[in-house]
Structure formats: C-alpha cells, structure tokens
Structure 1
Amino acid sequence: MSAQSSPSASAAVKQSTVFSILVAISSVHMLNDSMQSVVSALFPIVENSLGLKLGQIGWIAFTLNMTSSVLQPVVGILSDKKPAPWMLPVGMACSMVGMAGLAYAPNFWLLLLAVVFVGLGSAVFHPEGSRVVYFAAGGRRGLAQSIYQVGGNFGQALAPLMTIYIFVPLGQRGAVLGTFLAIAAILILLRVVPWYSVQLAEKGKPAPKAKPGGGTTVSLQPPLYSNRTIGFALSLLLVLVFARSWYAAGIGSFYQFFLQSEYGLSIKQAQVPLFLFMAAGVAGTFFGGILADRFGRKQMMLFSIAGSAPFALLLPHLPIEWVYPIIFALGFILQSGFAVSVVYAQELMPGKVGMASGLVTGLAFGMGGLGAIAFGTAADHYGLADVMVACSVLPLFGLLSIMLPKDRR
C-alpha cells in the first residue's frame, strides 16, 4: 500500500456511520420494491381478469427482472464514471408511470409495457442507492448494507398483503395506489440527494497513488485480490446468486398457485405462507449483515444458501400444518446472505461500487427471471407439483461457497 493511500484508507475505517441517511435510503428502497411487489401481487388477479396462462405470468416476472436488474450493471458502470444524484428521483418518476399503466392496462402487451417502466425505475435507483449506502456506512459495511436491503426485502414482503387487502377487493385498478408510493419516495429523496451530492464532492474523487517513474494513477483503494482471483470469485458468486434467484422466482411467482392446487387453499389463504417466507427474509437480511461483520462474508454466504437446502427439499412434500414453520425458517436462512454477497462483491472490486452492486443485485438476479419463464412454461406442460420439486434442489448450489476465497477487509 502506498504512503499516499494509507491515510485515506484509515480515514474510511474511522468514518462514522450515518444512520439517518441509511434509514432514509432504506425507506426509499422499501417504497421502490413495494412498487415492484405490486406486479407480483397482481398475478392471481390478472390471471383471472385478463385470462393469462402461467407461462404468461412467467413472462411478466421475466420482463420485470430483466428491466429492473439486467440494466443495473450498465447503469452502475455509467454512474461509477459519472455519479448522478438526480437519477434517484428520475427513477422514481419512471416507476410512477408504470404504476398508472398497471392499473389500466387492458391486455397482456400493455401490461408488459407498464412493467417495463417499473423495472426501468428500479434499475436506475439501485446502483445510485448502493453508492449512498457506501458513503453512509463508515466502517460498518455489513450492517449498513443490511439496513438498506431490509428496506427492499420488506417492500417485497408486502406483495401477499397487497393481494389480500387491495387487489382481491379492488381488482387491477387498485394498482393506481402505487403512484403514492413513488411520490413518497421522491419526497424522501429531497433530503438524501443534497447529502449525497456533498459526499460526492468531498469523497467521490479517487485518491492519487504513486506510480513508478514519478507519475500517478488513481485508485479508491489498493487491490486486495489478484485479477485472476477476482474473476474466479465473481463468476462463482454470480452462480450462487443466480441459483438463489431462480429459487426465489419459483417461490415468489408460483408457490401460491401450488398451494391452491395441491392444498385447496383460497387466493387469500395462499398468501399467508408466501408472506411468512418474505417476512422471515427481512429478518434474515438484517441479522445476516450483523453476523457477517463478526464471522466473515464467506461463512455467512455458505450458511445462507447451503443451509437453506434441507428446508427447500422438504417444502413440496410437507402436510399443510408444517408448511408455515418450515417456510419461515427457509426464508430467514436463505436471505441471510443476500446483503452479504453485495458487500463481498464490493470488496472484490474496490472503486467500482456501482458495477459490483449492479452485478450482484442486478445481472444475476435478473437472469434469475429466466427461471420464472422456465417454471411457468414447465408448469403449463407438466404440472406445478413437478416444478416445485425440481425447484427445491437449487439451494444445493450453495455448497459451491466453499470454493470462494476468504474475504479480506
């Protein structure tokens, strides 16, 4: 490490955690993901009102994931070069347009177009939101990322409640209420954006580092890993997040239909296990970040994905009374490593926070949207029971976490 970079690294460690900004950006994350949840909450409604097949439901989920997630690395790369705080409220405005479109779309294709606007808004928000968290974290990266992700996971967990209390009584038109979520997010961002702009002015420029021959290069932090190690670890990390995303797509999009067909539950009753899974994920995300700061990122990711495998394998074969506690434990363990994987990627790629966050929460998660198409199409041809059994083996990919290099902070 160069003499010039040591003081800046030391200052970064000693920087205090700005909890007010973390809570604010986490709240916006909750509102953003709540708008995404409107899409999945509408699945059982539009299946009836628009006469959609499960394969078309899969295409809706795929479109949301592709636009909201796969574009994130692109936005992340651009924002790493030139951060733009104004992109945060612009993203929320895109989502607001999508909410209005969802409420009044008369057919499948216009519904997809509305979903694209919701996804674009999310794609714009996440990389810049992750950079806000990076600045506000101080020396507590795991905790800060967990606070941020808890907001998003809580927003996702609202989907079953929206189905029960909004869309079953009001139908598709109830989606227009989502525009108020966007307005609330923009109002909160009026506080966050000025603070973020100040941080960029003070700390956004990479610190100079000496180069042989008297010249200088710029680097936010000195490299912790070789390029070969980074490439291997990042590829493996994407496989792990990909597997988790495919499994989450199977549960989030189709498990409610499985409960209705196999257990005879009503639409409202089928939302309860889904809510337990997502609510447990909120708690798992928070405590996972705290535990990762103490025990390490790699260990937490191994526990998260591989540890959830036994519960996932059991879930399709349980009597209904056992579904509730098992799916709660499954959600808690599975999501305990999500925020951790983002921090691990950021530490693999210091100085490229937007791109690292976009890859983990964006590209890999978006590619998991392919699972929604695959599962929906397979369910139309082979039945939901076989699809749920096939889906249950995906967390076994978590055993590959053993091969990740040890995290270094």
Structure 2
Amino acid sequence: MAIDTAAQKPATLPEPTMYRILVVIGFVHLLNDSIQAIVPAMFPILEASMGLTFTQLGVITFALNLTASLIQPIVGRYTDQRPSPYALPIGLCFTFFGVLGLALAPSFGFVVISVIFIGIGSATFHPEGSRVANMAAGGRRGLAQSIYQVGGNGGQALAPLITALVLVPLGQSGALWFTLVAAVAIGLLVYIARWYAHQEPVTAKRKQGQRQNKAPAAYKKLLLFSIVLLVFIVFARSWFQAGITSFYAFHLIENYGMTIQEAQIYLFVFLAAGAVGTFCGGPLADRFGKRNLIIMSFLGAAPLTMVLPHAPSFLLYPLLALIGFIIISSFAVTVVYAQDLFPGSIGMASGLIVGLAFGMGAVGSIGLGALIDWMGITYTMLFIGALPILGILTVFLPSDQRLNEIHGEEL
C-alpha cells in the first residue's frame, strides 16, 4: 500500500503554482490586516475624543481579539465540512460596515459593535484565505503560505505609519478612508471566490479528511499531542511579539529617553523585518524542512532577544531587524506544518495557528501588562526576551519525514 501511495504522489507534483492567485490573496491579506491595525492605532484618538478609560480600551481590544482570532478555528472547521468560496467577500462586507461605524461612532458602545463587525470579517477571511493559498500552491506550499502570510505581516507593520500619517492629522473620521480599502478588498475577493468555486481540490481535500479520520489510534494521539504542542509554541512566539509591539516602546522611553514618535520607528523596523522573514521562511522550509525551520527561528533568535534589553542604543536597529526576521520567519511555516498534521482540515488547522494561538498571545499581553505593574518594564522585558527559549520544545514534534510516513500509511 505504501508503494502505491509513493507511486501516486509524483502525479501531484506537476500541478502549477498559481502565482497570480497567491499575489492577489496576499495583497488582500495586507488590506485586511491594515484595517484591523487601525483599531489599536485609534486608541489615543478615541481616548481623547470620547474620554475612554484604559479599562474601556481593554474591552475594545478583547472584543477584537475574541471575534477576529479566537473564533477562527470554528469558522475553519465549518468551511472544512462545507467549502464556502463566497464567504470571503461576504466576510469583508462585515469589515466594510465595521470601519464605517468606527469612523462615525458617537459612543463607546457603538465602537465596540463596530469592532466586532471588523473582527467577524477578519475571522472569516483568514482560514479561507489560507485555504486559497494551499489550493494555489502546487508543489510549493511553504512559498505559497509565505506569500499569503507576508501580506498580513505587512499590514500589521503599517500600523505605526497609519497612526502618524492618517489618524493623527484627521482624527476619528480618518478611518473613513479605510472603507475604500475594504471596498477594493471585496472586489478582489469576488475574483478569488470565482476561481475558488471552480477548483476540484475542494472535493479531494474533503475525501482526504475522511480517510484521515480512520487513522490508527496511536497516530491520532501523536497528531493531537503535536497540534497542542505546536499551538503552545506559537503561543510563546505570540507572547513575545505582543510584548515587543505593545510594551517595548515604554522600555525605550524609560531607559533610552526616546519620544513616542522615535519609539514607533523601532517597532516599524521590527515588524517590517518580520514581514521579510515571513516571505523567506516558506522557501527555506521547502528546502530544509518545516520542523527544522521552526526550531532555528526560535533558538536562532533567543540569544539576541536576551541581549536586547541590555543593548546600547546604536545596536537597537540591527538587533530588532535581525530578531524580527529570524523569529517571525516561522510564522507561515507553522501554518503549513499544522496543515500537514491534519491535511483534511486545512481551515481548522489554519484557524488554530493564525487565530487561536495568535489571538491567545494577544490576550496574554494582559498578563504582561500586569507583570509590568508588578515588576516594572525592565524586568518584564527580560522575561519577554527569554520566551523564545521555549522553542526547544519543537524537538518533540514529529519530523517532516515522519508525517509523510504517517499520512502515507493512512492512505
């Protein structure tokens, strides 16, 4: 049986990589995540215009993370069983009305409702967008997922620039410009949905998922252990990234005497380098193995992250660029690895990594904030810098070859 499977696999290799589809879905990912980024970017403006408390701002953050991140696995599981091409543009319609409401919101309650609409649109887009990247990948799944995910990282990196160039000069109403961004995204997703609806791999993936459910119990336990461990590892990376993006500016202000504007540039360098790392990580994983790339992204960054809180100011730019490039290079790779664990559940696997694990990391930033209140920013940065060491747990994940053997035996 294993010989037959091996004989059949070369037939799938000639499938072309649909770069046109990948570039479009990656660009829409950039638009979607730049829209999502305007919510925290607007906090200083909403605090000033509405007199919101930090508790109310926390509620807004929680509402965004709950809808945009934590329900992604649910959406992914549903679309695994019922492929829904036109869920993509429909989801972005929610985002359009959410942005419109945010720009015109007269009260705190209206802001929360608007943010929930943005979150629903994002939660719908991410697992289905990852599925589109998988369908268009051909034989280069790591590269395909990198092209898709680099759009999202690029959108997040735009947040400091959005704050400085759009929201500060125009205020709350400046968010109206992002309704045009949402409209462009909807139009592109209609094009993607039409392509998606005509793809035969949708049926093939559902059948593959049905075969996977018949795997021996020993394999099921191994795969379940692996996905739980992978989510934990991504959770640690998300804690680190949330710590840098949310609190490192305070460290720079307190210990280096920088202004808010100067600190934002350092965050942009970290996020922009991370976007480049995301793009490079997929092709490297295709060549050297996904698990190997995940291990190196954590352990390669760990010495640098532990030095960062003590580094002199002239080393901060290169350190942040290197750290962002190395540790975020595994972002897309962890998604592909999760899909390899459960190849019949592409949407759910993507939702677990991009949504649940990343969202829980953002929610975990509440814990980091409490740690700062207790220990101070300097000691908390030392704790944040040690988080990448947890990447050593990746050695307990099955190798790429082992996963191929498992799924080959199942077939």
Q: Distance in 1 between matches of 2:368 and 2:307?
A: 19
Structure with the higher helix share, 1 or 2: 2
Q: Name the count of aligned residue pairs.
A: 401
2:345 equivalent among 345, 352, 357: 352
Equivalent pairs: percent with the same residue? Answer: 49
Q: After superposition, give the CA deviation of every residue in 1:333-389 in whole Å (9 maximum; x if it has no partner).
A: 111001000110111101111111111111111111221222234445554334333
2:305 equivalent among 306, 312, 328: 312
Q: After superposition, give the CA deviation of every residue in 1:299-348 in whole Å (9 maximum; x if it has no partner).
A: 10011122222222222233333221111111101110010001101111
Establish whether residue 244 from structure 1 lines up as the match of residue 244 from structure 2.
no
Q: Distance in 2 between matches of 1:71 and 1:8?
A: 36
Alignment check: 8 A CA contact 1:5 1:221 kept: no
Q: Distance in 2 between matches of 1:261 and 1:52?
A: 25
Gaps of at least 5 residues in structure 1 are: 210-215
Establish whether residue 102 from structure 1 lines up as the match of residue 102 from structure 2.
yes
Establish whether residue 27 from structure 1 lines up as the match of residue 27 from structure 2.
yes
RMSD (CA atoms): 2.6
Counterpart AA for 1:290: P
Distance 1:316 1:176, change over 3 A: farther
Between 333-342 and 310-319, the greater mean CA deviation after superposition = 310-319
| Aligned-residue offset at 1:187 | 1.4
Q: After superposition, give the CA deviation of every residue in 1:154-178 in whole Å (9 maximum; x if it has no partner).
A: 1111001111111222223212221
1:203 equivalent among 194, 201, 212: 201
Distance 1:298 1:253, change over 3 A: same
Gaps of at least 5 residues in structure 2 are: 405-411
| Aligned-residue offset at 1:14 | 2.1
| Aligned-residue offset at 1:150 | 0.8
- 3-state SS of 1:322 partner: helix
Q: After superposition, give the CA deviation of every residue in 1:120-179 in whole Å (9 maximum; x if it has no partner).
A: 111001111111111100010001000001111111110011111112222232122211
2:393 equivalent among 373, 377, 400: 400
Counterpart AA for 2:84: A
Distance 1:406 1:169, change over 3 A: same
Aligned twin of 1:213: none
Q: Distance in 2 between matches of 1:139 and 1:217?
A: 19
Q: Distance in 2 between matches of 1:378 and 1:60?
A: 21
Between 303-312 and 87-96, the greater mean CA deviation after superposition = 303-312
Aligned twin of 1:126: 126
Q: Distance in 1 between matches of 2:58 and 2:309?
A: 20
1:6-405 equivalence runs, <5 A: 9-52=9-52, 56-199=56-199, 202-206=200-204, 218-219=210-211, 226-380=219-373, 382-405=375-398
Q: Distance in 2 between matches of 1:37 and 1:269?
A: 19
| Aligned-residue offset at 1:229 | 1.5
Alignment check: 8 A CA contact 2:100 2:175 kept: yes
Q: Distance in 1 between matches of 2:170 and 2:75?
A: 36
Q: Distance in 1 between matches of 2:212 and 2:135?
A: 13
Alignment check: 8 A CA contact 1:55 1:373 kept: no
Q: Distance in 2 between matches of 1:108 and 1:2?
A: 60
Distance 1:208 1:240, change over 3 A: closer
Aligned twin of 1:212: none
Alignment check: 8 A CA contact 1:46 1:52 kept: yes
